[in-house]
Amino acid sequence: MRVETAELVERIWARDASLWTGADEDRWLGWLDEPMRMLERVPDLLELAERTADLDVVLLGMGGSSLAPEVLRRTSGTERFQVLDTTHPAAVRRLADSLDVGRTLFVVASKSGTTLETRCQLDFLWELAGGRGESFVAITDPGSELEALGQERGFRLVVAGEPTIGGRYSALSVFGMVPAALMGADVEALVEGAVDMVTRCRAADSPGVQLGLRLGGSWLEGRDKVVFENPHGLGLWLEQLLAESTGKSGKGLVPAPENGKDGPDRQVAELRLDDDGLGAEFYRWEFATAVAGTVLEINPFDQPNVQEAKDRTTRVLSGHGRGLTPDTAEEGMEAVETLLAGARPGDYVAIQAFVDPERETELAPLVERARATGCVVTVGLGPRYLHSTGQLHKGGPPTGRFVQVVDDPGEELPIPGRPFGFRRLIHAQAEGDLASLAERGRPIVRVRLEDL
C-alpha cells in the first residue's frame, strides 16, 4: 500500500483502521493524544511525588507495565526505586530480604489486572507487608480484577489507565508517568517534551512518519534487523514496541540492540535523547512503529501469539500438561553447537535466559559464540521477554534460532494462596515457551547456565 506522507498523517489522526488491516486498529489509538491528557495531570503527579518522597518504591509489573519505568529508573539514576519483573525465586528472595517494609511503597501495575507474574508477586509481598493496604498502589485499567482488589484491600491509591492504549504504547500514560513521579523524575519535562512531539507529528514532515517509513522501507529491502545503541536501557522498551507490534503473520522487525551495524539484513536506527528528551523519543517511536505497520500491512496493536506460552505455562502448573520430554528437547553445549552451525545469512540467534538477573553477565561466552555465526544476536531474560519479544519469536519470520538457558533457581519460595511457588512457576514458564516454539517448528535447544 502506497500512501503519500501528508495523507498518511491525516489518516492516522483520523483513526482510519484501513491503513493497517481494517480490523480494530481504531480502538487502540488512545496513545495518540495521551500526552495532552497527562499534561492536565502533571500537578497531581507532582503532588504524589511530594507525598511519597520519603519512601522507597518497588514496582511489580511485566512488559508494558515495567519496561518504560525501568528505562526511566536507569535514566534518573535513582536508588530508591526498584522494578521487580522476574519470577526467579533468588531475585524475589533477595529483594524481600533487602526491604525496609515499613517505609516501602509497592506499585502493582497490570492493564488486565490478571497478569500471572504480577499477581504472584503481589500475593507474596502482600503477606510480607502484613496486609497493609496503605503500602500499595495499583495502576490498572478500569473494571479490572486488580482495581476491585485494590479497593477491597484499601490500597493507598488505585489509578485507572486509558483502556484504548495497549501496554507497549503506554509509556506516556499513567503506567509510565506515575512511576516516573514516584521515583522523582522530572515528569513535567517528560510530558511537555511528548506534547511538543505530538504537535510535530501532526505536520506533513512528521518525525514519527519519517522514521516509520525508513523502518518499513528498509524492511521491504530485506533489512529487517533494527540495530541501535542502548542508552539507559532504552532498548528494553524499544524491543517490546518493535517486536510485539510488527512480529506477526510471518513478518516483523527484529530489534537488535548493541549489535554490529554491518550486514545486508541490518538497518541502523538513531535514538535522539539528547535532542528532544526521553518523553519526545517515546512518542516518536510509538508513532513510527504504527507507521511501519502500514508498510508491513499488519495490525501493530495486537499480539495474537503471546497467549500460547501463557496457556502452556498454565497447563504445566496444573499438572494436566507439560513441555517437551527430555528425549524430544535437545540439551547441552553439543546441541547448542549444532544449532549455531545451522545458522544461515539473515537468521538471528535469540538467547532466552530463565536465570537470576544478577547472573546475566555469565551469558557472555554464549553471546560471543553466537555472534561468531555472523548473525544478529538478541538476549532476553525470562519471563520478561515473553511479554516483549515473545510475539516476534512465534509469529514473526521463521529466521530465529533459539537457545534457552536455565539455572538452578535454588530452594522453592512459596507464594501465599497458590498451589505452586516461584521455583515451580519459572520452571513452568521455561517449559511452556520451549514447547510452544518447538511446536511451531522453531529450532530451539536448552543449556544450563553452569555448562556455558
- Please report, in tens digits, the pLDDT of each residue of the chain (452 residues total): 567 888 999 999 999 999 999 999 999 999 999 999 999 999 999 999 999 999 999 999 999 999 999 999 999 999 999 999 999 999 999 999 999 999 999 999 999 999 999 999 999 999 999 999 999 999 999 999 999 999 999 999 999 999 999 999 999 999 999 999 999 999 999 999 999 999 999 998 999 999 999 999 999 999 999 999 887 789 999 999 999 999 999 999 999 999 999 999 999 998 988 767 999 999 999 999 999 999 999 999 999 988 777 788 888 888 765 554 444 578 999 999 999 999 999 999 999 999 999 999 999 999 999 999 999 999 999 999 999 999 999 999 999 999 999 999 999 999 999 999 999 999 999 999 999 999 999 999 999 999 99
Instruction: Say what the pLDDT of residue 315 is.
Output: 83
Final residue of a structural domain among 277, 296, 315:
296
Domain boundary among 236, 270, 296: 296
How would you class 91 by CB atoms within 10 Å of its CB: exposed for 0-12, middle for 13-18, buried for 19 or more?
Answer: buried
Residue 73's domain spans which residues? 33-185
368 and 395 in a single domain? The answer is yes
Q: Phi/psi at 235 (nearest 5 deg)?
A: -60, -30
Strands 104-109 and 81-84, how do they pair?
unpaired
Last residue of a domain, one of 296, 330, 346: 296
3-state secondary structure of 171: coil
- Within this chain, do residues 54 and 177 fall inside the same structural domain, yes or no? yes
Total domain count, the chain: 3
Judge whether 132 lies within some domain.
yes
- Reference 153, options 137, 174, 175, 139; nearest CA is 137
> Angle at which helices 364-371 and 333-341 pack, to 10 degrees?
30
Same-domain check for residues 199 and 181: no
**108 and 174 share a domain?**
yes
92 domain-assigned = yes
User: Looking at the domain assignment, is residue 301 inside a domain?
Assistant: no
Give the residue among 119, 27, 85, 129 at the shortest CA–CA distance from 420: 119
68 and 176 belong to one structural domain: yes
Distance in angstroms (rounded) separating the CA atoms of residues 149 and 145: 6
Secondary structure class of 418 (helix, strand, coil): coil
pLDDT at 325: 47
pLDDT, residue 276, reads 75
- At residue 306, the pLDDT reads 83
> Could you tell me where the beta strands, DSSP code E, fall in 47-98?
56-60, 81-84
- What CA–CA distance (Å, rounded) separates 323 from 320? 11
Question: Residue length, the chain?
Answer: 452
Query: 67 with 171, same domain?
Result: yes
Helices (H), 306-389: 306-318, 333-341, 364-371
The answer to whether residues 177 and 59 belong to one domain is yes
